[in-house]
Structures are given as structure tokens and as C-alpha cells.
Structure 1
Amino acid sequence: MHNASDPLSGSGSAVTVDELLVADPADAWVRAGFTVDDGSVCRVGGVAVRLIARDRGTGIVGWSLGGLPHASVDDVDGVPTTAPIGAAATSAHHPNGVVAIDHVVLMSPDLSRTVEALGRIGVEPRRTRDAELGGRPIRQVFFRMGEVIVEVVGSPDATSEGPSTLWGITYTVADVDATASFFGDRTGPVKDAVQPGRRITTLRHHDLGMSVRSAMISARR
């Protein structure tokens, strides 16, 4: 159930994250307890994670967005972008306990530029939070894109050239302690998350041959 006082609750914009393109081998994700269909597609909630081995580098190398206002959109602040083809994903069962994607982190070298780029496709910020990362101040700007939250992270006052990059994924799990037990020493300790009432653990993704930074968080209350 959504909390009406939570600015990130609800469906958000008409634009939705439908697919993430990941330059990882499928067998790495199978080792991590994900179900992979047709040799390359991992269906998590309503999002398809398409695995393309290392043909285009590493990490999340692009996304497909539903509900785009312009069919010609092929880039969102440097992130390769396509319109989805076919029906939305239907979630698979994953032995690691993952049930959905909670949020995707988008690292920005220029927060204002990235927020403006998202605004041009009809996506507006829902919340802003100032924090620290490695002792440096950061600003987090949150957007709701369908069932997925997109967390844009960057410096609050410094800018640089270059594209924004899709940096990592946090998954919602049915039971965070069971998920941590499944991974054993390939995940960090379960601890309280920034989000009140939720708990989180960080996956040691490199140990599994994955290139995407990944965390597992308990469900929203």
C-alpha cells in the first residue's frame, strides 16, 4: 500500500522504465539467483533486464522507456534510450528472493542538466535529499518512472562534462534476511536503510561475475 504522504508513492509520470540493457553474461546472473529466460532476459517485476554479455562494455549500458513523448528520443543526458518493443515484462520467480526493482541510480556530472533532460521527456522530480558519499557532499534527486524510482546523484554545486551513467540497481526482496542467507559471504551485513523501517544489504557483485552494483532492500511498509 502506498503512503499518501510519500512523494515517491503513486505511479508518477507517464514515462516508465521498461527495460535495462546490461553488459553481463547470463550465467553470472544465474549464479546470483536470478531466473534468466530465453538465454538473455531476466524479468524483475515489470522490468526486463536484457543481458548482452560484454559486447558493449560493462554495467548498465542503456534503457528502454515506455510512454516517451517523442518517438525520436534516443538519448537522455547521455544514456542510450529506445522505445520498448512488445508487451511489458511479467515478473519471474527468482531463487534469491527478488520481487521487483526498487530504484535505479543514475550518476550525473551536472545535476541541473540531467534534471532538465528528464523534464524534456515529461519526468519531473518528486523529492530532493542532500547527503554525503565518501566524505563529499552529494545531492539525490528522485523521480518516479512507473514502478521504478530513478535516483539521480551528483554534486550539489560542481559540474563537469560527460554523460550521465546508469550506475546501479537496488532490488526489493520478500525477506531480506533470507536473501542475505542465500548469498552468504557474497553480501554485506544487513543494516537499517536510509528509508525508515526498511533494511538493506549490498551484494558483492564482482564475486559473482556481475558488473552492476547491486543492493537488496526489504519491501516498503
Structure 2
Amino acid sequence: MTVTVDEIVVADPTKAWRAAGFSVDDDGSCRVGTVRIRLVGADGRRGILGWSLRDVPAGLLAGDVDGIPTTLSERPAATPATHPNGVTAIDHVVALSPALPRTVATLAALGVKPRRQRDGELGGRPIRQVFFRLGEVIVEVVGSPSAAGDGPASLWGITYVVADIDATTVFFGDRTAPVKDAVQPGRRITTLRHDALGITVRTAMISARR
């Protein structure tokens, strides 16, 4: 079986996400594609707090994934909700790693093999992106291709697929950056000025695959 993402836990209030055009259930769950995003309020915290995974082989998960708080789930996939901002699914989740080979090895030990990698730059520094597929969701692990430090990996941001990226940018107005061509051929992407909406997760919107 394939390891999949059941839920992502975020330290944001539900009212901020509803104001940003996400449909949020009464229990604080935002169903995006087959994944649940559980909004638990800030309480002095920010960003993505952890996640739950299903179909992890027995005995291979010991409480976290290279420092990312992780629980096991046996729930079925979520039923997708309709969102006024045009979001239809999660395209990928970005994880930051201070020790890229260590994080890659941790995921591989769960039976999640890297699909590809890409070298680039961020702020003038070389980075490497290693991509994994967990069911519907791609996990992009980002770190230095050479240096390795201590500390845990962390979940940093989410990129969503939208039905019509031009309509989504109209919805958000000046709270999005200008749309540009994505790295993926034939797709277009914009980043959301999430802080302006009271959202603490770095957020991007990308057009659907052709």
C-alpha cells in the first residue's frame, strides 16, 4: 500500500481561513481534495504543527518523521469540499530540512521513495529539492546539497491546485503576487500574502496540470 497524508495540523483560527475563501467544517477541518487540514487556533504557535499519515507499514513509525510530529491514521480519505477561492486539491507540501540526506533516508525507511530531485538557488545559496509522492500529495523536501546541521525537519508551506488561477487572483486581489510561469511546464503560479489574511502558513496557488 502507498503511504498517504490524512491530515495536516495548523495553528490558525478558523475565521482567518474562512475569510480567505476556504470552507471549514464546524469541527475545524478544512477538506482540500482528499486531505484534511485541522485548524487548532494559534495559542502562541504558528504554521504547520504536524501531520497524520495512513498506510505506514507496521512498526516503522516511532512518533515523528525526522522531527516532524506525526501520528498514524486509519480514517478513509476526506470527501473534497468546494472552496470559494477556487482551491480543489493540495499540489505539494514543502518541508525544510537542516540535514537533507537524513530526512530523505527517514522517508525512504517508511517505504516512500524519492521520485526526483532538482538543484537551484534560494537567496543566493544553493539548495536541493527532493520530491516524494504520498498519494494525492507531493512532499517537496528542501535543504542544502552539501551542508548538514542539527535540528528537526519541519513542514513549512502548502501549494494548492486551483480550478482557474486568474479567477483566484481576482478573488484575493492585492493579497497575491503577480501570476508567473511555474517550474512545471504549462502551469502558472502565484503566492498568497498570507500574513495579510491572518494565516501563518506560507501559501501558493498553482494552475491544474494539463
TM range (shorter): over 0.9
Alignment of structure 1 residues 1-221 onto 2, 5 Å? 14-55=2-43, 57-70=45-58, 73-221=62-210
Q: Is the 8 A contact 1:44 1:101 kept in 2?
A: yes
Residues 158-216 of structure 1: CA distance to partner in whole angstroms, max 9, x if unpaired? 11100000000000000000000000001110110111100001000000000000000
Structure 1 segments of 4 or more deviating over 3 A?
none
Check the 8 A contact 2:6/2:75 in 1, yes or no.
no
Secondary structure of residue in 1 paired with 2:23: coil
* Distance in 2 of aligned mates of 1:211 and 1:39: 20
Structure 2's unaligned 5+ residue stretches are: none
Q: Please report how far the alpha carbon of residue 55 of structure 1 lies from its aligned counterpart in structure 2 after TM superposition.
A: 3.5
The residue matched to 2:73 in structure 1 has which SS?
A: coil
**By how many angstroms is 1:85 displaced?**
4.8
Opposite residue 201 of structure 2, the aligned amino acid is V
Measure, in 2, the Cα distance between the counterparts of 1:208 and 1:161. Answer: 33
Does the 8 Å contact 2:97/2:142 carry over to 1?
A: yes
Which 5+ residue runs of structure 1 have no aligned equivalent? 1-12
Separation in 2 of the partners of 1:69 and 1:161?
27
Percent identity of the aligned residues?
A: 67
In the TM superposition, residue 120 of structure 1 has moved relative to its aligned partner by: 1.2
SS in 2 for 1:50: strand
Does structure 2 conserve the Cα–Cα contact (< 8 Å) formed by 1:17 and 1:65?
yes
Structure 1 residue 119: Cα displacement? 1.1
- State the 1:86 CA deviation: 2.9
Q: How many residues align?
A: 209
For 1:52, give the aligned amino acid: V
The one-letter amino acid paired with 1:34 is: F
Cα deviation per residue 1:33-70 (whole Å; 9 max; x = unaligned)?
00000240000000000000014711011000011113
In the alignment, the residues of structure 2 paired with residue 131 and residue 163 of structure 1 have an alpha-carbon distance, to the nearest angstrom, of 22
Normalised by the length of structure 1, the TM-score is 0.92
Question: Counterpart amino acid of 1:100?
Answer: A
Inter-partner Cα distance in structure 2 for 1:207 and 1:85: 36
RMSD over aligned Cα atoms = 1.2
Q: Per the alignment, in what secondary structure is the counterpart of residue 117 of structure 1?
A: helix
- Conserved? CA contact 2:54–2:74, under 8 Å: no
